Amino acid sequence: MVDDISFGGYTNNGTDDGQMTMSSLVPVGGDIWSIGTDPTAPSPTHMMQCQNAQGSYNPNMMNYLVSPPIQLPNDGDIRVDFMIKGYFDDLDAFPQCDYFGWEISPNNGLSWYAMSNPYNDPTGTNYVYSDAPDVWASMVNSYSLNGLISDYAGQTIMLRWFFKSDEDTPIGTGIMIDDVTVYNDIFIAPPANLAATVAGNNVTLTWDEPGSGGGGGEEGWLHYDGENSGNSIGTNSAADFAVAAKWDPIGEHGIFDYVGMNITKIKFFPGEVNCVYTLRIWTGAAGDIAYEQTVPSPTIGAWNEVELTTPWTIPSQTQIMAGYRCNTQAGFPAGCDDGPHVPGYGNMMYWQNNWTTLNAVSSTLTYNWNIRIYVADPVTGKEYVLGHGPYEQEVHAYTDAILQEKGSTQPVRTLDGYKIFRDDIEIDQVGATVLTYTDSGVEGGIHTYYLKAVYGANTSEASNTVTTFVLPQSHAELMHDDGTAEEGFNVGSTKQMAVKHSYGQAVTVKYAKVYVHTVGTPGIIVRVFDNDGPNNMPGTQLAQYQYPAASVVEGWNWIALPADINVADGEFYLAIMETAGASAIGLDTSSNGYSYKKIATDWEPVTTGEIMLRAIVEYGSAADDDVIPAYTLDAKNYPNPFNPETTIAFSVPKTGPASLKVYNTKGQLVRTLVNDVREAGNHSVVWNGMDEQGNSVSSGLYFYRLSSDGNTVTRKMLLAK
């Protein structure tokens, strides 16, 4: 009965379908759960509200809202959450006050357990809640829950919410819920080590199967924190909690590059002498203990670098956390930096028997724990611990709750194949045993490729992205280096380096091809000069382009330059002006004679080698004026952005089959506009913003792909409603 409910095969978009039921255990209080509207709801406009017609709630209530049965998946890290908003107040002491609760039943409603203690652990804590966030917020995040119900994998569960009020006149508006979601955290490994080679108009991709990554990370310390400046966290009394840094299986904060390597040391900053410190490594979303080692005599108020008794091998497809347990009698035992925090990664905390974050416990504490792990390559012939063994359960004195430890295994999933993407458009799908693919007849220019692994109905995150360059027709690559950088070359901030190029006839400079030996912090400022300076040195600046820092990679970088850099005699200089922290450009030391630098006021030769700055130019024919221009494969839409329709003008070079298709940003086909035989020449077609079923598509970025005679071009367009 709430927008965007989706679980166990049950969905609802705001209609009363009778599957979510309401009841009242106190008849005098009435049953006021109902469907309502709120323009600020997470997915407007409908939500579920426990609110009366006067915009408040009733005294003497015990109102329940119960979900239909929900069939959970058979494996994975299964979580549940919902969005909540409300306001109520009661000056009476608990339990004679107003509160709400959230419960789960694994046996068709015969038993109900608090979601703070979903497995009914006799030593756990069963919470109800005597307030509500005044803006829409996640239940799990608002009350430091984890929402995990993985132990019920494969079973059918039900959820219910209740709101209880006493006999006092209510103060407030009640509660509202929306976006109830049960979801499954499934790690799906992406393909690894994608590489590309170009031969003519053919691009050949090779890759490794999912999960084969690892060992490629550099040995050293991994961490999120800054230095300690005297900060540490605690209750200033006896307490038992754990602190950790977290890494995901993949992604921005992923451990994937280090799979198969070993954590050999942990460094931390203890702050209390009357504390027992135990180093730990946890795995999985539930935070199962995988390794522990007591630190017998830590140095307080200083970095402690502890070598693990048994190096611990980083597994694939697994979230890991590393840190320590503090069982303290006083003080502030856990050292931290001054921030800013990396939320959900540098500030993880096991507090009151749940994993949460430091700032969720106290919103003013936006710091990272001083925790660092050292990763190293395995030593041949030495055995390492993978996974974890049994450990004794521990009782946290402040709650008498047991820190549960149980085995954690990743489900085995069948790889069905790979989806291949060029320039963010899916171009093909191949089988699970295929580890190479040739993309034939690729249009000239810069192209990016990545892959996704397919596991049934699921697809992985993208592999690494590779950038390739296919030399277009009537283009030439000008160079003086042999392709090998023996060393890196810099000239200093505000200084310039340049390479002289000559083709012998009029050209248009289209691309710079720059070899980066060592990546720096800023982007690359590329300049093109005519050779009309003194002694035919760089003179008139014809163009300048700043290649963004985020795009700079080690190795070759293809940089598209501004249009219409025309050089009548074919002689010009391609240059770089450095800024502070600039990338070192490759230097081929096997030859010299075409490279120059400008350190002061004059250009002077570089005598130690050739700077690896190549130019890609478009040339014409001396008889061009006498030749009827041939049609090229091209497409352009107007207007762009558009609403509600746009015209796509396109041309094909020869008569034959042609197709023009529209895709969304996920690479899914939205609409086929052309799929027939077209004469060589210019054509146009109108897209009205509808998909194949005649439904109006949503606003956003779309791609259209023109294919003819084995070649394709892809362009972008923006639908702005």
Q: If you average pLDDT over residues 402-412, what whole number do you get? A: 31
Average pLDDT (589-615) is: 94
Q: Is residue 408 part of a domain?
A: no
In the structure, what pLDDT confidence band is assigned to residue 182 with cuts at 50, 70 and 90?
confident
Q: What is the pLDDT of residues 238-270, one digit of tens each?
A: 999 999 999 988 777 888 778 878 899 999 999
Residue 38: give its domain's CATH number: 2.60.120.260
CB 132 within 8 A of CB 84: yes
pLDDT at 211: 63
Residue 580 covered by a domain: yes
pLDDT at 681 over 90: no
Q: Does the pLDDT value for residue 383 go beyond 70? A: no
- In terms of domains, do 20 and 153 share one? yes
Asked whether residue 431 falls in the same domain as residue 479, the answer is no
The answer to whether residue 8 scores a pLDDT higher than 50 is no
608 preceded by a cis bond (ω within 30 of 0): no
Give the total number of structural domains in the chain. Answer: 5
Query: For residue 443, what is the domain's CATH number?
Result: 2.60.40.10
Mean pLDDT of all residues in 434-443: 93
Same domain, 28 and 17: yes
The pLDDT tens digits of the residues spanning 441-492 come to: 899 999 999 999 998 878 888 888 999 999 998 899 999 998 899 999 999 9
Angle at 484 between CA 481 and CA 488, to 5 degrees: 90
Q: Is 488 among the domain residues?
A: yes
193-207, 305-319, 430-444: the lowest-pLDDT one: 305-319
Strands ordered across the beta sheet of 646-652 = 634-638, 646-652, 681-687
Structural domain includes residue 395: no
- Split at pLDDT 50, 70, 90, the class of 207 is very high
Instruction: Verify that 157 and 260 share a domain, yes or no.
Output: no
Q: Which one of 341-345, 510-514, 678-682, 683-687 scores highest in mean pLDDT?
A: 510-514
- Domain of 509: which CATH number? 2.60.120
The CA angle 578-582-588, to the nearest 5 degrees, is 85
Q: Are residues 262 and 303 in the same domain?
A: yes
Residue 109 shares a structural domain with residue 73: yes
Position 399 scores a pLDDT of 32
Structure tokens at 680: 């060589």
Q: Indicate whether 295 and 331 sit together in one domain.
A: yes
What is the per-residue pLDDT across 388-397, written as a single tens digit (0 to 9) for each? 333 333 333 3
pLDDT value of residue 263: 92
Alpha-carbon span 200 to 434, nearest angstrom: 23
* Residue 97, in any domain of the structure: yes
Q: Tell me what pLDDT residue 626 has.
A: 46
pLDDT classification of 623: cutoffs 50, 70, 90 = very low
pLDDT in tens, 77-98: 788 999 999 999 998 888 889 9
Q: Tell me, yes or no, whether 252 lies in a domain.
A: yes
For 333-344, write each residue's pLDDT tens digit: 999 999 899 999
> Are both 544 and 428 inside the same structural domain?
no
Of the residues 619, 653, 680, the one at which a domain ends: 619
Mean pLDDT, range 646-661, rounded to an integer: 89
Q: Compare 165 and 184 and report the one with higher pLDDT.
A: 165
**pLDDT the model gives residue 6:** 36
Burial 693-705 (b: 16+ CB within 10 A, else e): eeeebeeeebbbb
Residue 627 in domain: no
Residue 571 and residue 539: Cα distance in Å, rounded? 12
Residue 589 falls inside a structural domain: yes
pLDDT band per the 50, 70, 90 thresholds, residue 217: low
pLDDT tens-digit readout, 51-67: 999 999 999 988 888 88
Distance separating alpha carbons of residues 583 and 497, to the nearest angstrom: 13
Please, are residues 326 and 280 in contact by the beta-carbon 8 Å criterion?
no
pLDDT band at 378 (very low <50, low <70, confident <90, very high): low
pLDDT of residue 293: 94
Whether residues 347 and 323 share a domain: the answer is yes
So what's the pLDDT on residue 187?
63
Give me the pLDDT at residue 405, please: 23
Q: Residue 245 has what pLDDT?
A: 96
Answer yes or no: are the C-beta atoms of 212 and 192 closer than 8 Å: yes
Would you state the pLDDT for residue 277? Answer: 96
Query: 216 pLDDT band (50/70/90 cuts)?
Result: low
Residue 297 sits in the same domain as residue 333: yes
**Please, is 167 exposed, middle or buried when counting C-beta atoms within 10 Å of its C-beta (0-12, 13-18, 19+)?**
exposed
Question: Could you say which of 585, 619, 653 is where a domain stops?
Answer: 619
Higher-pLDDT residue of 412 and 433 is: 433
437 and 348, same structural domain?
A: no
Instruction: Give the CA-trace dihedral at 242, 245, 248, 251, to 10 degrees.
Output: 160
Structural domain for 69, as ranges: 5-184
Choosing from 595, 619, 643, the residue where a domain stops is 619
Can you tell me the mean pLDDT for 265-287?
A: 92
CATH number at residue 645: 2.60.40.4070
**pLDDT band with cut points at 50, 70 and 90 for residue 401:** very low
Q: For residues 171 and 115, state if they share a domain.
A: yes
